[in-house]
Structure 1
């Protein structure tokens, strides 16, 4: 990593930290890094972000895809004002009618990926996806392989220095200090 950023093949999502006052653990912003200038461009919707991410190796992201040039200022800077995560390139876009959701664990250890079905049901595993598809034959052409539960990488240099973590033995909150070494 150079300057806190991964190479231009990485795809960031941003999750609010307690510093921002937003609700904990929800994705509030999508962004992509230009392959040429490495500037971050805000992506307007999750659907647009997933489209970019799903084709990243064959069709890298460039500023021009957002109507900008590499000479224009970045839409945002990579910094610790929010917690950043990097999604893997080339993950499949969620099938039509389904939504991929990421939830940050309270201890900032990882994000969990879920899929919300067109009927609003939350699916957490491939087995649940298979059972849902079996019970809903109207989703012809959709298979379990169209879903990916990979968890984005949390960028540790953007995790708040202090956060509450439940100690499972005592159930009392304790303060954990991020190791700067």
Structure 2
């Protein structure tokens, strides 16, 4: 992970937002694992996410670059590229289930937080998802983030709570090598199923 240590007000004007591409993979993986926990991302998992980001030639995943380094990323599955599981409650969604994209994950380098990067990444993913044909986006928000910042951030951007799911990432910690940064042993963190309906 790169620690930028930049506090200049002009910093936000120098951040470049661009669709995720394969040359970004190494830095995205390093940043994701440093912030979210070991084995959060790998070459294989990110390659799969990247493929699922596309629909009709449009990519819904984005990175934020500062000084040509990845300062943040938003990984998004196109509405046509993912399947609901036991952590989803489509009957409670106010739009057709097949028109919902999936916000897989969002990470910003801690030294760059507060510059609006997360919201800018989300806005760009939403715009591309709309081009792809989505009417809303679903996310499972980590409720153990420091100060519950993830929930507050997604709520601030229009996300509505659908349902809380206990032990959302336990399976990943037991069988996929995920090492939760706040749990000793297997992850027992709750996830919030949240939906952002596009205007």
- Tell me the TM-score normalized by structure 1: 0.26
Q: TM-score, normalised by structure 2?
A: 0.25
- When you count helix as a share of all residues, which structure comes out higher? 2
Structure number with bigger Rg: 1
